[in-house]
Amino acid sequence: MKISELNFTELVSTYGDNFPMYQILDEEGQVVDQAAISELSDEELVELMEVITWGRAIDERVILLNRQGALSNYAPGGGQEASQYGSVLALDKKDVFAPTYRDVFAGVKFGMKLSQAFLWYKGHYIANQYGDDLSMYSPNVIVGGTTIQALGNGIAKRMKGEKQVALSLCGDSATSQGDFYEALNFAGVFKANLIAVVQNNGYGISVPTARQTKASTLAQKAVAAGIPAVRIDGMDPVAVYYTVKKAREYAIENGPVLIENMTYRFGPHTMSDDPKRYRDDEEVDIWRKKDPLLRLGKYLSEKGLWDQEKADAIYEEVKTQAKEALAEMAKAEPQKVSEFLNFMFKDQPQNIREQTVYYNEKEEN
């Protein structure tokens, strides 16, 4: 093409064509990619169904606990289970996981204690004290903060020749932050063992994606960093799990991958949000028909591998787990200012030493 023939409108309109949305199971639970699903065992698919069912059950349980005042403000994850738990389940336990505030319970399936997850909602520091066998960041409330966290680990693993990855979850609005772009750019340059998963649920709180970016897809934002990207039906748990597994293999050998999961949250942004102010019931109903639990559940039921009895058993298990976690949470000692001061410095400056003495005396009385 000659420069005299350039059409800027046509040029930008073609960007999104390179990022079609991929599925393995359609909305009716029918296989649309036989080659892909044949690479997964029935055991893997049943475990995936168990995990996303657990995710839905704990989400509903925590909503009740929030309404009862047992836990503070909660960001529901109902609808996003395929994206959250499908991603985590595809990881190795020696990988690094960087979740957001909406992915706290995905962290439980990665190895975090449920009682710690509950304490996180109480703002207690014990929630962030992990054992050496758990390579996970504390769930991040900073929009765009997870990808740049995972970047550092991804670069380190590349430099050390380690066969693990760092995976970050973030929302669509995170891709409007400078930290996100900087993370992708550095990841590309240093061939970081990074999988950046963008959970595009259509809204940054109340702001629709179309008001956040002019880009027709979020996956295309990886192009400027020179790294591969793919757009997935984020309501298809099999597609998410399969794609993250493939991305993990690629990232270990070659470098970073960006995955955009097209998903949806059925509930509010948080329990203090009123979604009816920015979306209508008709939109929610359309997405509820894409429910990941219905989709994979139907596929497995037709194979005789899943039924309502199995789902009910998981819900009962979650009730017991939540009760035990609440009891464990109640054992946590109240936090002290002196403890916060002691956490800050290995060698305390004079002003901190003075404050520590002051608060130690105050707390003893």
Q: What are phi and psi of 215, to 5 degrees?
A: -65, 135
3-class SS of residue 196? strand
Residue 176 tokens read as: 């409007």
Residue type, position 272, single letter: S
Closest CA to 270 of 199, 340, 203, 365: 203
The DSSP element (H or E) to which 21 belongs, if any, is strand 21-22
Which strands sit side by side in the sheet containing 229-233, from one edge to the other?
21-22, 229-233, 257-262, 194-200, 166-171, 96-98
Residue 226 per-residue DSSP state: T
Residue 270 tokens read as: 């948080």
Residue 265: other Cβ atoms inside 10 A: 21
Tell me which residues are annotated as active site.
265, 269, 278
CA angle 271–276–277, rounded 5-degree value: 100
Residue 344 tokens read as: 């800050």
The DSSP element (H or E) to which 167 belongs, if any, is strand 166-171
Residue 174 tokens read as: 């995170």
d(C-alpha 158, C-alpha 164), whole Å: 9
Residue 70 tokens read as: 């047992």
* Beta strand 203-204 pairing with 166-171: unpaired
d(C-alpha 146, C-alpha 138), whole Å: 10
d(C-alpha 364, C-alpha 85), whole Å: 44
3-class SS of residue 264? coil
